[in-house]
């Protein structure tokens, strides 16, 4: 009931609300696509597609709640946002691990990537959720910088570290290209998140953007990264399955 009255009140220029609704639907549609397409790829890729579908499905469920939270309170659903990321970012690390596993990726690589994402997200959560009323620049910058350490570790691993080296060693052009595109997602797509973070009160961009614009950036970034990542993995899986069948 609350939901229906709030939808009726949604302003035509509520872009944040718009991206919550469209983000929810896009994540749902992408999940259906990845789950169904598992039957089109060869056995060794089915787990990767399942993970792609889980990432967008977990996001869809969180968007369902975040959308309503935003409609009811008109503020950022920071708590749900970070639960979503804490589940989905490690699953994106699993995608890197599965792609390079055939080339010899060790379980330790996955653990290191997950620890770096936990650092990135816990620091980001403290930065946002415990930002003093009215906003504190020193608080947001300090936790933002700590979070960036985790981000740079993942970025480095994907571009120059273990993931990049394993892709190189695999001698498989399809996997190499896939890993390279995912590394671009981490460099460009993931860089949208710190921009959103800086819109919060006290943040470096708070003079230019409204506090709710945090969610505008996060919603756009989530759609690009979660669905995009899954599509890259899907394209690698399809190409490799066709190659094997030929
Ligand atoms: C599906 C969700 C994804 C891919 C989320 C990624 C989130 C980040 C890359 C967040 C990074 C942040 C920083 C690098 C500094 C400021 C705080 C964060 C958490 C927004």
Confirm or reject: Cβ of 17 under 6 Å from ligand 1: no
The pLDDT, as a whole number, for residue 5 is 53
From the CA of 215, how far away is ligand 1's center (Å)?
12
Ligand 1 atom 6: residue of nearest CA = 190
From the CA of 78, how far away is ligand 1's center (Å)?
12
Other beta carbons within 10 Å of 55: 30
Q: From the CA of 55, give the closest atom in ligand 1.
A: 1
Per-residue pLDDT of the chain (246 residues; tens, 9 = 90+): 455 555 657 888 999 999 999 999 999 999 999 999 999 999 999 999 999 999 999 999 999 999 999 999 999 999 999 999 999 999 999 999 999 998 999 999 999 999 999 999 999 999 999 999 999 999 999 999 999 999 999 999 999 999 999 999 999 999 999 999 999 999 999 999 999 999 999 999 999 999 999 999 999 999 999 999 999 999 999 999 998 887
From the CA of 193, how far away is ligand 1's center (Å)?
5
From the CA of 15, how far away is ligand 1's center (Å)?
21
d(CA 77, CA 218): 11
Cβ atoms of 40 and 238 closer than 8 Å:
yes
Ligand 1 atom 9: residue of nearest CA = 190
User: 4-245, superfamily in CATH?
Assistant: Rhodopsin 7-helix transmembrane proteins (1.20.1070.10)
**All structural domains of the chain with their residue ranges:** 4-245
The pLDDT, as a whole number, for residue 11 is 85
Q: From the CA of 198, give the closest atom in ligand 1.
A: 16
Confirm or reject: Cβ of 120 under 6 Å from ligand 1: yes
Ligand 1 atom 14: residue of nearest CA = 148
From the CA of 135, how far away is ligand 1's center (Å)?
19
From the CA of 243, how far away is ligand 1's center (Å)?
36
């Amino acid at each position: 009931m609350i939901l229906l009255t709030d939808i009726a009140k949604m302003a035509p220029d509520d872009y944040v609300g718009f991206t919550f609704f469209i983000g929810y639907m896009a994540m749902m549609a992408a999940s259906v696509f990845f789950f169904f397409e598992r039957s089109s790829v060869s056995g060794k890729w089915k787990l990767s597609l399942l993970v792609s579908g889980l990432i967008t499905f977990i996001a869809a469920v969180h968007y369902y709640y975040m959308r309503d939270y935003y409609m009811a309170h008109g503020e950022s659903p920071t708590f749900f946002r970070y639960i979503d990321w804490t589940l989905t970012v490690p699953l994106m690390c699993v995608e890197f691990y599965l792609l390079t596993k055939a080339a010899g990726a060790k379980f330790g690589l996955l653990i290191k990537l997950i620890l770096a994402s936990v650092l990135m997200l816990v620091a980001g959560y403290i930065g946002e959720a415990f930002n003093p009323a009215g906003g504190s620049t020193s608080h947001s910058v300090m936790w933002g910088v700590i979070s960036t350490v985790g981000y740079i570790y993942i970025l480095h691993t994907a571009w120059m570290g273990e993931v990049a080296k394993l892709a190189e060693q695999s001698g498989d052009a399809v996997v190499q290209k896939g890993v390279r595109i995912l590394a671009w997602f981490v460099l460009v797509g993931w860089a949208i998140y710190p921009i959103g973070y800086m819109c919060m009160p006290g943040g470096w961009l708070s003079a230019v953007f409204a506090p709710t614009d945090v969610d505008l950036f996060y919603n756009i970034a989530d759609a690009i990264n979660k669905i995009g990542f899954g599509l890259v993995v899907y394209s690698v899986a399809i190409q490799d399955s066709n190659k094997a069948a030929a």
